[in-house]
Amino acid sequence: MTSPLRRACIMGHKIAYSRSPKIHGYWLRTLGVSGAYDVVDLAPPDFPSFFLSLCAKGYAGGNITKPHKEAAFELVSRREKAAEAIGAVNTVWCEGTSLVGGNTDWSGILLSLDHLYPGWDAKAGNAVVLGAGGAARAASYAFCSRGLNVTVANRTRGRAQALADQFGGNVSAADWDVRDDLLAGCDILINATSLGMSGEPPLSIRLDRLKPDAIVYDIVYVPLATELLKAARRRGHRTVDGLSMLLYQAVPGFARWFGVTPQVTPELRALMEADIATAAPAP
Ligand code: ATR
Residue 169's pLDDT band (boundaries 50, 70, 90)? confident
Determine the Cα–Cα distance for residues 243 and 253; give it in Å rounded to an integer: 17
* Predicted TM-score (pTM) of this structure: 0.95
* Pocket of ligand 1 contains residue 135 by CB under 6 Å: yes
Which residue in 69, 81, 123, 211 is the catalytic one?
Answer: 69
The answer to whether 264 and 251 have CB atoms below 8 angstroms apart is yes
The answer to whether 127 and 151 have CB atoms below 8 angstroms apart is yes
The answer to whether 219 and 192 have CB atoms below 8 angstroms apart is yes
For the segment 228-253, the average pLDDT, to the nearest whole number, is 98
Instruction: Indicate which residue's Cα is closest to atom 30 of ligand 1.
Output: 155
At 280 the pLDDT is: 54
At 278 the pLDDT is: 83
User: Element (H or E) spanning 191, and its range?
Assistant: strand 188-191
Determine the Cα–Cα distance for residues 219 and 129; give it in Å rounded to an integer: 11
| 81 is a catalytic site residue | no
80, HSE (Cβ side, Cα atoms, 13 Å): 18
Determine the Cα–Cα distance for residues 212 and 187; give it in Å rounded to an integer: 9
* Whether the predicted pLDDT of 1 surpasses 60: no
Instruction: Indicate which residue's Cα is closest to atom 28 of ligand 1.
Output: 155
CA 194 to ligand 1 center in whole angstroms:
6
Q: Write phi, then psi, for 155 (nearest 5 degrees).
A: -50, -50
Give yes or no for a cis peptide into 252 (omega within 30° of 0).
no
* Whether the predicted pLDDT of 170 surpasses 60: yes
User: Element (H or E) spanning 35, and its range?
Assistant: strand 35-41
At 5-64, the pLDDT tens digits run 999 999 999 998 899 999 999 999 999 999 999 999 999 999 999 999 999 999 999 999
At 60-102, the pLDDT tens digits run 999 999 999 999 999 999 999 999 999 999 999 999 889 999 9
* Whether the predicted pLDDT of 205 surpasses 70: yes
The answer to whether 17 and 283 have CB atoms below 8 angstroms apart is yes
Instruction: Indicate which residue's Cα is closest to atom 11 of ligand 1.
Output: 193
